Structure 1
Amino acid sequence: MNNEQSHLETVKIYKALGEPNRLSIVKLLTKHKELCCTEIEEHLDFKGSTLSHHLKQLADCGVLKLSRKEGTFHYYQLNQDTLKRYVAVETVLD
């Protein structure tokens, strides 16, 4: 990866994490190994298409990954490799 690609990847990740609802999802997932959409909805004030949009943004930049599908449920978990590269988790997500 060249410097420009690395810079663009960094911007994309911080832009995703700079949105308060997405940061709330990441903070929630730091406390759980994985959660499905309905479990995430139980903890947050937004649902449905808004949640799907935020999950997609976090997955597209590599912060989240789909860990498994169980029937119609999609389970997400944090991508620890991405977080280790770009976020000081202990300080930002407390």
Structure 2
Amino acid sequence: MLIEPSSHKEAVKVYKALGEPSRLSIINLLCQHKELSCTEIEQRLDFKGSTLSHHLKQLLDCGLLDLSRKEGTYHFYEVNKDMLKRYVALTVE
């Protein structure tokens, strides 16, 4: 069995999130860094604030991202490597 029936809803959320090119770009970028702030992600991927916020929420909701810390008004995000490894066949360092 590929995915346990109890995890079907989780799998659908993860694959739906990864199926959107902008969210996949965010994951790819964050896999290359320990963590990045919203501002750093915006600048590197040329996203607008509200668009990035929407994509980050989707990635947080499905468990692919974690809010690693807050520093003043800055939020820093990192990839949840365990979750990503569960659904994507690649090496995450």
Structure 1 CA distance, aligned partners of 2:90 and 2:62? Answer: 17
Q: How big is the shift at 1:45? A: 2.4
Which one is further off, 7-16 or 81-90?
81-90
**Are residues 1:67 and 2:79 paired?**
no
2:41 counterpart residue number? 40
1:21 counterpart residue number? 22
Q: How big is the shift at 1:89? A: 2.9
What RMSD, in angstroms, separates the aligned Cα atoms of the two structures? 1.5
> Aligned ranges for residues 76-87 of structure 1 at < 5 Å?
76-87=77-88
The alignment of Structure 1 onto Structure 2 pairs a total of residues equal to 89
How does the TM-score come out when normalised to structure 1?
0.89
Q: Secondary structure at the match of 1:51?
A: helix
1:8 counterpart residue number? 9
What is the aligned-residue identity percentage?
A: 71
Structure 2 CA distance, aligned partners of 1:89 and 1:52? Answer: 26
Structure 2: gaps (5+ residues)? none
> Aligned ranges for residues 50-61 of structure 1 at < 5 Å?
50-61=51-62
Q: How big is the shift at 1:42? A: 1.1
Q: How big is the shift at 1:88? A: 1.6
Which one is further off, 14-23 or 40-49?
40-49
Q: Secondary structure at the match of 1:77?
A: strand
Structure 2 CA distance, aligned partners of 1:8 and 1:39? Answer: 31
Structure 2 CA distance, aligned partners of 1:39 and 1:19? Answer: 20
Structure 1 CA distance, aligned partners of 2:48 and 2:38? Answer: 9
How does the TM-score come out when normalised to structure 2?
0.90
Q: How big is the shift at 1:84? A: 1.2
